[in-house]
Amino acid sequence: MKLYNYELSGNCYKLRLLMSFLGVDYETEAIDFYPGQKHKSPDFRQINPLGQLPAIEDNGLVLRDAQAILVYIASKYDADGTWYPAQDPALLGQVMQWLAFADGITATASAARLHDGLYYSHIDVEAARKGAHTLFRILDEHLFFAEDAGQAWICPSDQPTIADIACFPYIMLSEEGGINRMDYPAIRRWCDRFKRIPGFIVMPGIFPAGPAFEKPAA
Amino acid sequence: MPCTDSVALNLWYPVTALEDITSKPLHTLLLEEPLIIRHDGTSQVHTRGRTLPVRESYGYLWTSLGTSQEDLFPIPEYTEDDRRNVHAATIGVQTSAPRSIENFLDMGHFPYVHTNILGAEPHTEVKEYTVEVSTECDEIRATNCLFWQPMAAAASSAGAEVNYIYRVPHPYCAVLYKSSPANPDRLDVIAIFLQPETQERVRAHMMLCLLDETTSNREIRLFQQTIFGQDKPILENQFPKRLPLDPRAETPIRADKSAIAYRRWLSEKGITYGVIPSAA
């Protein structure tokens, strides 16, 4: 599989994360997203006419859209079927619901980050930040009640799903867009749990979890 | 509040990479003043009805709001025939220019922030190095800096003990020299030129001037962006965002010698923009 990649893209990082969790081998082709704007080039539009990252090529199949690619990779390479629980309609519906929510995070928190860091000056940054806070408040409340019910992840499964992956990067990078996470303690705890999933990798702007609290040996 | 620091006002500042200039006007901010950059055969910079002086150096358009600019500091390597000059990126950072310079000078954070690239545990020691204000020209130089790096540059194939020299020739610009993986007898050059938009927000322009015939511009650029992307959250989480110049304000360790010299140098220059000056 080939991933058209930009290291600083949270959407590309979603795919790098899932492939690391699953131990899938892949190659990358680095795209000069900034300042080169090569994702808007005629060559890259042959791969994705929308001129957006990420995209993949796998055995002749070309796919775009981070969430769609998460579904594809999890369906194809996760033998346990936990990341994309296709066999459980109620759970799957919730996974899809939060994948759509993650698109909202991209449209707000990621937009604010592009505005502040990479000079996407056409973005209304105040509206983007306000929109992100609205979504973070909803997710924080959801996670608070989920924790209360003994649930560690966004969807009611013992295992994390691709919904967790889809929501994680632009929440974790939100401060680069001037969106503080101080007021979202349940989100912060969830981020910390996420960083402890075996196979977790970082990207620029995201650090590993601190040393875990060691439970005394029984 | 507009900038009243006369030292800062008279400096040259980069405002855009030359390669980002098109026929479309560019809008940017320098020391809180809104600038318009126009290009019509030549580049002009305007602010509030004034036309500002311009110069093109090191791949960037520079301007100044003041009246008596000195010459811009030299980077002689830039014009060497066998060098690759690459504009890596212009990135917005929510911090002051002096905090960004200090981070650029610091080796202690390499293993922790740039893990497995510019450093790795257990090679965490910052060995004794030399810092001085150069006698020939008014700039800080840190020399004899050695650090073990797993992947010192995009062209690196293995870990190496890397030699660094740092120069601070401008209150908001710094230049580093490090062993070139392609040419062990010579040094690669990496510069950070800061454009303070406000006291607590900068545009960081990054330029590389490398001895490297094999790595593509794209790879060089993306490598540098990865490094800077790792620094960004660290920079943005330092408080206060302006750099305190009082020697008692923050507790340095031996590895911070260059930072101590930088703060003292800023104090002696009378810089007040982007810093918290010492109480008199």
A–B interface: beta-carbon pairs under 8 A? 59
Architecture of domain A89-194: Up-down Bundle (1.20)
How many independent structural domains does chain B possess?
A: 2
Q: Are residues B121 and B242 in the same domain?
A: yes
Q: From the list A7, A119, A121, which residue is nearest B225 (CB)? A: A7
Last residue of a domain, one of B72, B92, B118: B72
Q: DSSP class of residue B115?
A: B
**3-state DSSP of chain A:** CEEEECCCCHHHHHHHHHHHHHCCCCEEEECCCCCCCHHHCHHHHHHCCCCCCCEEEECCEEEECHHHHHHHHHHHHCCCCCCCCCCCHHHHHHHHHHHHHHHHHHHHHHHHHHHHHHCCCCCCHHHHHHHHHHHHHHHHHHHHHHHHCCCCCCCCCCCCCHHHHHHHHHHHCHHHHCCCCCCCHHHHHHHHHHCCCCCCCCCCCCCCCCCCCCCCCC
Question: Which domain-ending residue is among B47, B72, B97?
Answer: B72
CA distances, B37 to each of A139, B22, B40, B45, B62 (Å):
43, 10, 10, 5, 11
State whether B103 and B238 are in the same domain: yes
CATH number at residue B9: 2.20.25.680
Q: What pLDDT is attached to residue B136? A: 85
pLDDT tens for each residue of A133-184: 999 999 999 999 999 999 999 999 999 999 999 999 999 999 999 999 999 9
Does pTM surpass 0.90?
yes
CATH number at residue B115: 3.90.380.10
Q: Do A119 and B230 touch (CB under 8 A)?
A: no
* Alpha carbons B198 and B28: distance in angstroms, whole number: 11
pLDDT for A213: 64
Residues B178 and B47 in one domain: no
Query: Least CB-CB distance to A7: which of B87, B226, B232?
Result: B226
pLDDT of residue A161: 98
Q: Confirm or reject contact between A181 and chain B (CB < 8 A).
A: no
Q: Are B114 and B235 within one domain? A: yes
Report d(CA A41, CA A174) in Å as an integer: 28
Residues B62 and B81 in one domain: no
Say if residue B9 is in the same domain as residue B90: no
Per the CB < 8 Å rule, is B225 touching A35? no
Residue B91 sits in which domain range? 76-276
Tell me what pLDDT residue A218 has: 56
Claim to verify: residue B14 and residue B134 sit in the same structural domain: no
Among B52, B72, B92, give the residue marking a domain's end. B72
Q: What pLDDT was estimated at residue B68? A: 76
Is the Cβ pair B221, A32 closer than 8 Å?
Answer: yes
The domain spans of chain A are 2-77, 89-194
Are B53 and B131 part of one and the same domain? no
> Which residue in A8, A32, A119 is closest to B229 by CB distance?
A8
Q: Does B218 sit within 8 Å of A36, measured CB to CB?
A: yes
- Answer for the pair A154, A167: CB distance below 8 angstroms, yes or no: yes
The answer to whether residues B29 and B168 belong to one domain is no
Q: Do B13 and B82 reside in the same domain of the chain?
A: no
Closest Cα partner for B97 from B6, B205, B17? Answer: B205
Q: Is the pLDDT of residue A216 over 90?
A: no
**What's the pLDDT score for residue B280?**
66
Do B121 and B178 contact (CB within 8 A), yes or no? no
Grade residue A212 by pLDDT with cuts at 50, 70 and 90: low
Full pLDDT tens readout for chain B, 280 residues: 689 999 999 999 999 999 999 999 999 999 999 999 999 989 999 999 999 999 999 999 999 999 877 899 999 999 999 999 999 999 999 999 999 999 999 999 999 999 999 999 999 999 999 999 998 889 999 999 999 999 999 999 999 999 999 999 999 999 999 999 988 899 999 999 999 999 999 999 999 999 999 999 999 999 999 999 999 999 999 999 999 999 999 999 989 999 999 999 999 999 999 999 998 6
Architecture of domain A2-77 in this structure: 3-Layer(aba) Sandwich (3.40)
